[in-house]
Structure 1
Amino acid sequence: MELSLIIPLYNEENNIDELVDRLSKSLNDIELTYELILVNDGSTDETNDILCKFNANSNVKIITLIKNYGQSIANRAGIENATGKYILCMDGDLQHKPEDIPKIVSYLDKGYDLVSVYKDSGSKQSIGSKIAHRLISRISKTDLRYYGISVKAFRRDLINTGDLYGNTHRYIGISLAKNAKKYIEVPITIDNRETGKSKYRHKQWSVLFELFTLKLMLKDIDGLSKYFRKAGLVLGFLGVVGVAITICLDIFADLNIGRDFIIEFIFMNFVIIVGILFFILGLVLHIYQKESSSTPYIIRSND
């Protein structure tokens, strides 16, 4: 298999038939062998029943998750069950035109490891979006024009699927670009959604948290975890020793903590608290790393 097309779906009953029809026509126009992976992300409407119609199609693979995990995890489930040398991720609401697939895939044939996309000149970008993209570029030290579009085509061996969680699919192009020897950005037109409402909504207030998460994605998490845990233990030990010394002086040297060592005593307790916080942060990073390396989803059995 040469190309795996991943489409996450959540309550898209009104779009699936047209989506699969247009995708099939576009995929038949490319020279690569392909599989179409439709990931049902815990839909509660008729999405699952409609998808069952395509089980007989040898080019279509249906993955049904037991609950709604979100777009990043749905993409991860699709990628981890894909067999293609190349991966192409798109949304399932038809805002991304299936007819653009041949153009995107053509750059893979030309030797590019990653094909990212951006809105063409006819699509407006808000001031807030421009500011966010500049911040992301500065933090990530990449020069991609646009990070918010989930359409990406890339070599399968470029991606660490452990980086896909929460809303990180929006920024996965950063790690892909850093791993790619050769990448290109191409313009596409974003259509308005014709039926229903967007199921994968992005909350504006989460941008700051996502930027922090992005920093973690670009760091050695295991190294940071060990650093904070060791620093926490050292600070905690020094603080306990300092408190013990001041208490011993109070008991055996006829000195008064409240009179002679109050500042030192408060400072040592502060050091203990900081040490505990550092150690907890190290544990959180350790748990985060373990969770990102494990499989965070369950696929529903067809039995």
Structure 2
Amino acid sequence: MQDNVKQEIEISIVTPMHNEEGCVREFHSRISAALKGMNTTYEILLINDGSTDCTEDIIRELSLNDPNLKGIMLARNRGQCTAIYAGIQESRGQYVVIMDGDLQHKPEEIPSLICEIRKGYDLVSGCRTNRGESMIKRKLPSKIANYLMRTTSGCQVQDMGGLSCLKGKLARSMTLREGQHRLIPALVYSMGGSVSEVPISAPPRFAGKSHYGIGRSIDVLFDIVMLWFQSSFKQRPIYLFGRISLLMFMVASLIMVWLLYGKVFFGEHMGTRPPFMGAILLYLSSLGFMSTGFILESLANTYEAVMGTKTYQIRETISQGIAEKPKN
């Protein structure tokens, strides 16, 4: 019977909340109205990511009168990606919609994503148009980051870090590490999934202050480098470091052959010439890169073995005002 109940939910809304007391009620009102208008079954998962304001109290209050609302209280602040991952793992819907709680993702545009993903796609991303944000602080960095992510991954989604909808089973099978919520379309594409886009609007934040700063742009750059690493070398470190090691070994060997030729035919000394020392350094560097590849390969295998370990802890979940402690 429990399995049948789980299968009845079509749409799961996963929304992280950190100090969003000014947005929670309005978000809940508008997302509830949008989903009720779709005449489908749904659940709303609000993940309180260690808020220090009244966000948690408001979620508890709203859950009293909404059986479709589930509050997930993390033990402490773990960041947006971890909060999203926790919500996905608690979801039960056939489709999982990931959206922000500041209403810069309009709840009224959820139907267009659901309509598109019902065509059989594994993921549908919302492409923001007519963004009214600062060109220097937000729009330009976003354009550059999206271009680099498309180039490195091959995924042609124009706007990867925004509103998205995934098939539920696929979403719950993914293991997201910190920062990878910005790469979800590229990750799905790299897994062989089909992706699509629909245009969405980009209204200003409803209330409160943005949590994004310059540090986020730096983090995105590192995420792109890691995405390139994974996409280009199939998540196998030995492929990358092995190629670098082989290249260094070949260059060093060519230098040695050239020096040996000079010694045999022209009587030139090998050990006193700078190229000889350069070749030795290249041989040592080649050995170092190969060793690094083996070490990272071993670490990757170890990670795969223990990847079931969660990076967050749920303090309690709230449904219809009733608190439930997680099972150990």
Matched with 2:184 is 172
76-85 or 106-115, which moves further after superposition? 106-115
Q: For residues 108-145 of structure 1, give each alpha carbon's deviation from its aligned partner in whole angstroms, at most 9, with x where no partner exists.
A: 34444322111124657644433322221110011111
Distance 1:130 1:65, change over 3 A: same
Distance 1:143 1:273, change over 3 A: closer
Aligned match for 1:148, one of 153, 157, 161: 161
Check whether the contact 1:29–1:102 (CA below 8 A) recurs between aligned residues.
no
Q: For residues 191-220 of structure 1, give each alpha carbon's deviation from its aligned partner in whole angstroms, at most 9, with x where no partner exists.
A: 112421123556222233111221344354
Matched with 1:247 is none
- State the percentage of identical aligned residues: 33
Aligned residue runs from structure 1 range 240-259, under 5 A: none
Moved beyond 6 Å, runs of 4+: 225-229, 264-269
1:227 and 1:113 map into 2 onto residues whose CA distance is 29
Amino acid across the alignment from 1:52: R
Check whether the contact 2:153–2:190 (CA below 8 A) recurs between aligned residues.
no
Figure out how many residues of one structure are paired with residues of the other and give that number: 274
Matched with 2:296 is 281
Matched with 1:198 is 210
Aligned match for 2:32, one of 24, 45, 52: 24
User: TM-score scaled to structure 2, two decimals?
Assistant: 0.72
160-169 or 136-145, which moves further after superposition? 160-169
Matched with 2:250 is none
Matched with 1:117 is 126
1:291 and 1:268 map into 2 onto residues whose CA distance is 35
User: TM-score scaled to structure 1, two decimals?
Assistant: 0.77
The alignment's C-alpha RMSD in Å is 3.2
1:275 and 1:102 map into 2 onto residues whose CA distance is 51
In structure 2, stretches of 5+ residues that fail to align are 1-8, 246-270, 317-323
Distance 1:266 1:65, change over 3 A: same
Aligned match for 1:54, one of 53, 62, 84: 62
Q: How many angstroms does 1:226 deviate by?
A: 9.6
Q: How many angstroms does 1:68 deviate by?
A: 1.1
Matched with 1:187 is 199
In structure 1, stretches of 5+ residues that fail to align are 233-257
1:122 and 1:267 map into 2 onto residues whose CA distance is 50
Amino acid across the alignment from 1:196: G
2:219 and 2:301 map into 1 onto residues whose CA distance is 23
Matched with 1:135 is 148
SS in 1 for 2:313: coil
Q: How many angstroms does 1:280 deviate by?
A: 4.0
1:210 and 1:123 map into 2 onto residues whose CA distance is 25
Q: How many angstroms does 1:100 deviate by?
A: 1.3
